[in-house]
């Protein structure tokens, strides 16, 4: 028998939003516990995200490096972004992020994995796609701003990234999850066995 996460929702007797920013907010819920008592739970509300592990024909992964102010570090990451365009299909969002951050397109798309980044304190859900058959996009590059102004783009062998993750040298959630998931897929049934790019996503339902 396999195990899997299941949907469940405990009763909320009161809720408030003490902070709402441009993209995310903070919500406070009063939740009924199994013993009948109530407790408050504060958490960040988030629109959700997509990330792209783009693999070239030489087995290298496209990675970007940028400054992340909350952790005061420059992190190596895979292209990723918010689901902040109303009604946008997750696959279209992933394709847009790959173009904007790396000026790259891909021919083959699969769902690599779905994760909650920090379910004890945030409702962010991320869909990580595997993109293969990558090539440069023709025309002008997307105009970037803020942290992306000095973003570096590189291609690194998958094995080197796995080593970096296990050595504690690479820390970005989407990179860590994506790299290890791809390594597991390659060691198992292969990328062709992964879910299609339009597979259902209960955490962030969308119309096909």
Region at 166 (left for phi over 0; alpha for psi -120 to 50; beta for the rest) = alpha
- Using pLDDT thresholds of 50, 70 and 90, give the confidence band for residue 47: very high
What pLDDT, on a 0 to 100 scale, did the predictor assign at position 171? Answer: 98
pLDDT: is 188 or 138 the higher one? 188
Q: What integer best gives the mean pLDDT of the chain?
A: 94
Q: Mean per-residue pLDDT for 155-166?
A: 98
- Using pLDDT thresholds of 50, 70 and 90, give the confidence band for residue 143: low
Q: Give the predicted TM-score (pTM) of the model.
A: 0.92
What pLDDT, on a 0 to 100 scale, did the predictor assign at position 1? Answer: 63
Q: Mean per-residue pLDDT for 96-116?
A: 96
Residue 144 has pLDDT above 70, yes or no: no
Residue 99 has pLDDT above 70, yes or no: yes
Residue 145 has pLDDT above 80, yes or no: no
In sequence order, which residues have a C-beta less than 8 Å from that of residue 199 and are 6 or more positions away?
Answer: 111
Tens digits of per-residue pLDDT, 61-97?
A: 999 999 999 999 999 999 999 998 888 899 999 999 9
Residue 151 has pLDDT above 70, yes or no: yes
DSSP string, 154-200: EEEEHHHHHHHHHTT----HHHHHHHHHHHHHHHTT-GGGSEETT--
The residues carrying an active-site annotation are 148
């Amino acid at each position: 028998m396999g195990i899997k996460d299941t949907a469940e929702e405990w009763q909320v007797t009161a809720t408030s939003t003490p902070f709402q920013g441009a993209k995310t907010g903070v919500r406070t819920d009063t939740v009924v516990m199994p013993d009948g008592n109530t407790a408050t739970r504060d958490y960040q509300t988030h629109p959700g995200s997509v990330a792209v592990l783009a693999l070239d024909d030489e087995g290298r992964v496209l990675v970007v490096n940028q400054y992340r102010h909350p952790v005061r570090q420059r992190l190596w990451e895979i292209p990723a972004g918010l689901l902040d365009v109303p009604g946008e299909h997750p696959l279209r969002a992933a394709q847009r992020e790959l173009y904007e951050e790396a000026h790259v397109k891909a021919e083959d798309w699969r769902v690599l994995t779905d994760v909650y980044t920090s379910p004890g304190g945030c409702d962010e859900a991320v869909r990580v796609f595997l993109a293969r058959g990558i090539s440069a996009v023709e025309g002008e590059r997307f105009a970037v701003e803020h942290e992306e102004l000095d973003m570096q783009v590189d291609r690194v062998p998958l094995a080197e990234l796995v080593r970096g993750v296990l050595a504690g040298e690479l820390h970005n959630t989407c990179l860590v999850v994506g790299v290890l998931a791809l390594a597991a897929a390659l060691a198992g049934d292969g990328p062709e066995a992964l879910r299609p790019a339009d597979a259902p996503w209960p955490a962030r339902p969308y119309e096909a």
